[in-house]
């Protein structure tokens, strides 16, 4: 199994500000995935972070709004920029290795006021 | 891209009865199908998975079946217990899992009635 440490676990932010979420994995992984889970909804992939290259964003998500860093094979950050109340959600990082299951961080519950 | 549909969105069953959740997928290249359980305020946790070279897999009270021809797979929970109450998500991904994204179904809120 993989251990993923994600922080912060929750935050309340003012609109117009930015929040950076961190994920640390206990072993090296090629890909890290960032998901958004809006209240009562399923998980929607924001982007895939591959070490050494630009993140790949899904339709509806842009780098200016959700910049991602992936400085090494065990760490990634997601920034939610210029926040509005619509960004209130749970953000989760995830990793998968080979043909094994995906593991999730504990999530960041973001509330924008 | 892949599209995963999940039904029903809510399901209530009496304790001890069985629960079945069904998913369909669109991409015939998908070959790995995990199921996740998410309790309130917690992260999704894998409960069972199946690969395309297998038709059925069982783990105690939980089983998953896969019909690749019809592109659907199902989660079966027998002898349900109150602790089975949670939201369940199916997902699908391609052969390069770990380096490919998971596409999730919309979720099923399962409530076990004591």
Is the pLDDT score of B98 beyond 70?
Answer: no
pLDDT grade, residue A50 (50/70/90)?
confident
Mean pLDDT of the region B87-114: 88
pLDDT of residue B95: 67
pLDDT at A2: 67
Contacts of A42 (CB under 8 A, 6+ apart): B89, B104, B105, B106, B107
A29 band by pLDDT with thresholds 50, 70 and 90: confident
Chain B residues with beta carbon closer than 8 angstroms to that of A98: 97-98
Per-residue pLDDT of B32-88, as tens digits, reads 899 999 999 899 999 999 988 889 999 999 999 999 999 999 999 999 999 999 999
pLDDT of residue A101: 59
Over residues B23-33, the mean pLDDT reads 92
pLDDT average, residue stretch A17-38: 94
Residues of chain A positioned with their CB less than 8 A from the CB of B103:
45
Task: Tell me what pLDDT residue A57 has.
Answer: 95
Phi, psi of B13 (to 5 degrees): -135, 150
Q: Is B18 on the interface with A (CB under 8 A)?
A: no
Kindly list the residues of chain A whose beta carbon comes within 8 Å of any beta carbon in chain B. 29-31, 33, 41-45, 48, 92, 94, 96-102, 104-107
Among the partner residues B98, B102, B107, nearest to A97 by beta-carbon distance? B98
């Amino acid at each position: 199994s993989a251990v993923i440490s994600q922080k912060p676990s929750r935050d309340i932010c003012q609109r117009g500000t930015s929040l950076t979420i961190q994920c640390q994995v206990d072993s090296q992984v090629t890909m890290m995935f960032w998901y958004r889970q809006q209240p009562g909804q399923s998980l929607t992939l924001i982007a895939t972070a591959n070490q050494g290259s630009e993140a790949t964003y899904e339709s509806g998500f842009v780098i200016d709004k959700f910049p991602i860093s992936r400085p090494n094979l065990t760490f990634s950050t997601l920034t939610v920029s210029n926040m509005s109340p619509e960004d209130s959600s749970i953000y989760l990082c995830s990793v998968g290795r080979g043909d094994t299951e995906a593991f999730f961080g504990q999530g960041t519950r973001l509330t924008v006021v | 891209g892949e599209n995963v549909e999940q039904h029903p969105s809510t399901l209530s069953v009496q304790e001890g009865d069985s629960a079945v959740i069904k998913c369909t997928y669109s991409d015939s290249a998908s070959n790995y199908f995990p199921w996740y359980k998410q309790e309130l305020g917690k992260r999704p946790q894998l409960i069972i998975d199946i690969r395309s070279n297998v038709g059925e897999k069982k783990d105690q009270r939980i089983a998953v079946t896969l019909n690749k021809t019809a592109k659907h797979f199902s989660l079966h929970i027998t002898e349900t217990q109150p602790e089975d109450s949670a939201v369940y998500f199916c997902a699908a991904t391609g052969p390069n899992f770990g380096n490919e994204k998971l596409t999730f179904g919309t979720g099923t809120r399962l409530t076990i009635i004591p």
